Each structure stands twice: as structure tokens, then as C-alpha cells.
Amino acid sequence: MTTERKATLIIEGRAPVEFPIMTPTHGNECIDIRTLGAKTGLFTYDSGYLSTASCRSTVTFIDGDKGELLYRGYPIEQLAEQCNFLEVAYLLWNGELPTAAQKVNFENNIKQHTMVHEQLVKFYQGFRRDAHPMAVLVGVVGALSAFYHEAENFSDLEHQNISFNRIVAKLPTIVAMAYKYHRGEPFIYPRNDLDYTANFMHMMFGTPCEQYKPNP
């Protein structure tokens, strides 16, 4: 993002004030007015952020009017058609799609973290049967730090990677358990011989009475 050009604000009775113009990789150019308050004592008013870029992101780009969504520069339509979930997760975390070898290694790492601590399973019993699944999900995910606290130095890249892998791996298990708890059915544990999506379907719809066979 370049900031070579300037925009000049002229307020009657005051000296002109300059602000950098930021040119992003995608989308409209932006006037950087972060120093507006300090320079003029004024604020801007833009209800609903109709003309304001709210953040700088290297992960996503959204243009709602055009129906455009990019992940790391890739159109969402291409990713949906040509990549699986774990490839997109790798892309969001690392900035590029994985090579064949990186994909295999990442998928294997995820499979090593699909189980949740058995005491976390008992956590579900504290929720009402009719609790909203998202409320259950928020509660259980928040409790993960009490069970997996050896990698909570988030300034450490290795700890960041471990935590990321755990979240990606355990969320299907946590979501499926919330669904099973709501239905009053026994939890189904993950199977590492299945791929990511098939394993999620297995935990959601399998029962001890009958093995679920996901449709490819």
C-alpha cells in the first residue's frame, strides 16, 4: 500500500491541512485521516462506514456492492470450486495455497488434534438441551484454553501454529458434539482414517447402531 500522494483539506478561516492518500492492492484509494483530530480538532462523521475503510487486511477483501470476496487475493468462487476446506484454511493462515507435500503434512497435523480432552466432553452437561448451538460452541471453545494451556505464548510462532491447528482440528468435533447433545444422542468420536469433511459428517450423523457412510 503506497502513500506518495497527498490530499489537501481546506477549512474556511484555517490553514490547509494535508493527509496521505493510500493506494491499496484492491479497492478504492483512501485518505489517511488518522491525524485529523490532532491537526484540526475535528472528527469525521460517516454513519455505517459508507465511505470509510475500517481496517487494513492482508487476508480478505470485500466489495459488497460488486459481490466480490477475495481470500489472500483469490476469488472465493475459484477456491470453492478448486480447493477443499483445509487448503483454504492453510491459505488464510500462511498466505499461499499449499504445495502437494505441504497439503499432506498439514492434513496429517490436523488429524493428530481431532480429539478433545475427555473432561471437556463433560462440559456439555452444563448446558440446557435447548441451548442455541452457537452459545454452546462459544462456551466450549472458550474452555479450550483451560485444557491446552502449554502453547499460550502467542508471541511465539510455534505456539501460534499449534493453537491454529488445534482450533481447525477440534471445531468439527466440538460442533458435532453440540449437535448430538441437542438431539440427546451419544457423542461420536473422530476417525483419523477419514478426510476432514467425511469425518465431520461421520461425527454428526453416525450412531453406535449404524456406521454413517458419507456421500463423496
Is residue 179 domain-shared with residue 156, that is, in the same domain?
yes
- Measure the CA–CA gap between 143 and 166, rounded to whole angstroms: 13
Question: Using one digit for the tens of pLDDT, what is the confidence trace for 99-120?
Answer: 999 999 999 999 999 999 999 8
Closest by Cα among 163, 168, 167, 164 to 151: 163
Per-residue pLDDT, 80: 95
pLDDT tens for the 216 residues of the chain, in order: 666 799 999 999 999 999 999 998 888 899 999 999 999 999 999 988 888 888 888 899 988 888 999 999 999 999 999 999 999 999 999 999 999 999 999 999 999 999 999 998 888 999 998 899 899 999 999 888 888 876 667 788 888 888 899 999 999 999 999 999 999 999 999 999 999 999 999 999 999 998 888 888
> Residues 16, 10: contact at Cβ < 8 Å?
yes
> Residues 133, 175: contact at Cβ < 8 Å?
yes
Measured over the CA atoms of residue 174, residue 175, residue 180 and residue 186, the dihedral's sign is negative
Helix %, strand %, coil % of the chain (to 5): 45, 15, 40
Specify the number of domains making up the chain: 3
- Measure the CA–CA gap between 216 and 204, rounded to whole angstroms: 16
Is residue 51 domain-shared with residue 66, that is, in the same domain?
no
Give the contacts of 59 (CB within 8 A, at least 6 positions apart): 71, 72, 92
The answer as to whether 210 is a domain residue is no
Residue 203 CA, distance from chain mean position: 22
**Domain region containing 6:** 1-56
Question: Using one digit for the tens of pLDDT, what is the confidence trace for 48-76?
Answer: 888 888 888 889 998 888 899 999 999 99
Is residue 183 domain-shared with residue 136, that is, in the same domain?
yes
Side by side, the strands of the sheet bearing 68-71 are 60-63, 68-71, 74-75
The answer as to whether 166 is a domain residue is yes
> Residues 167, 109: contact at Cβ < 8 Å?
no
- Measure the CA–CA gap between 197 and 172, rounded to whole angstroms: 9
Grid cell for residue 42 = 475535528
CATH of the domain at 135: 1.10.580.10
Is residue 51 domain-shared with residue 94, that is, in the same domain?
no
Is residue 62 domain-shared with residue 47, that is, in the same domain?
no
